[in-house]
Structure 1
């Protein structure tokens, strides 16, 4: 049985992105295990290292995660001593996430992760920047086609 050439797995951009995502996750595991972090926890910390004191909803928007996915990550990071959750006294539903001193110190320990990943991926900085820009445009196009927000908040 012959499939249409357009339906060949090797021709699917979605599969190339999907399988590359899995390869990234496995590669990050080797870099993050010594820090005691999972890849999703690392992403949350990247957001907070860039801008500490964000509300849960803001972190979720930046990472394209809903609160049902994000809350367990934040609870685990809190139990590890890297963040603390502070409820807004005027609106108990609003929770701000703050890095602890241990969470701030972890940033220094994780400082080599991006460079180590670039070496593992065997990609030059200019190529990486161009690829990130292209993938961000692609994501924006797909989100626009689906009626979703074009950029994280």
Structure 2
């Protein structure tokens, strides 16, 4: 029997992602920050001075995409790029003062968003969601 459009779990996950992304996009818009750019900033607020390659690895994004987002964040004045002394091809990314200050507002928004998304969901259920999504990713990686 053929699956109905709404029976595909991948479509449900995609629609959930769109819903979450659109919500956080509206919250970040006043700060001139796109949701994907915010992911880079969140990493830097945790550990400043990452290389573009480290950011790409952590976000599971291609290096070209990360380079473009980093360039845009630099143009906005939130970060600065600096060549490493021992490897001029490798750039480290640092927060500017404006980028650091932005973290105070954005961190509050992302924590409130996380609370909203997880409202009514137990820690055990969240562990199950992570475990199941992890299995789905593994299934796809094993097949590629």
- How far apart are the structure 1 equivalents of 2:70 and 2:125? 30
- How far apart are the structure 1 equivalents of 2:79 and 2:28? 17
Match of 1:15 in 2: 11
**Number of positions where the alignment pairs a residue of Structure 1 with one of Structure 2:** 142
What TM-score comes out, normalization by structure 2 length? 0.85
Match of 2:36 in 1: 40
- How far apart are the structure 2 equivalents of 1:120 and 1:139? 20
Which deviates more, 88-97 or 132-141?
132-141
Q: Where is the helix percentage greater, Structure 1 or Structure 2?
A: 2
CA deviation map 1:76-135 (0-9, x unaligned): 1001111111111221111111111111000011132124424654724xx275555334
Alignment of 1:66-81 (within 5 A): 66-81=62-77
Q: CA RMSD of the aligned region, Å? A: 2.3
Which residue among 135, 138, 141 is the counterpart of 1:144? 138
Structure 1 counterpart SS, 2:89: strand
List gaps (5 residues or longer) in structure 2: none
Runs of 4+ in 1 over 6 A off after TM superposition: none
Q: Evaluate the alpha carbon distance shift between residue 14 and residue 52 of structure 1 in structure 2; reply closer, same or farther with a 3 A threshold.
A: same
Structure 2 counterpart SS, 1:110: helix
- How far apart are the structure 2 equivalents of 1:78 and 1:131? 39
Which residue among 64, 85, 98 is the counterpart of 2:60? 64
- How far apart are the structure 1 equivalents of 2:115 and 2:87? 46
Structure 1 counterpart SS, 2:91: strand
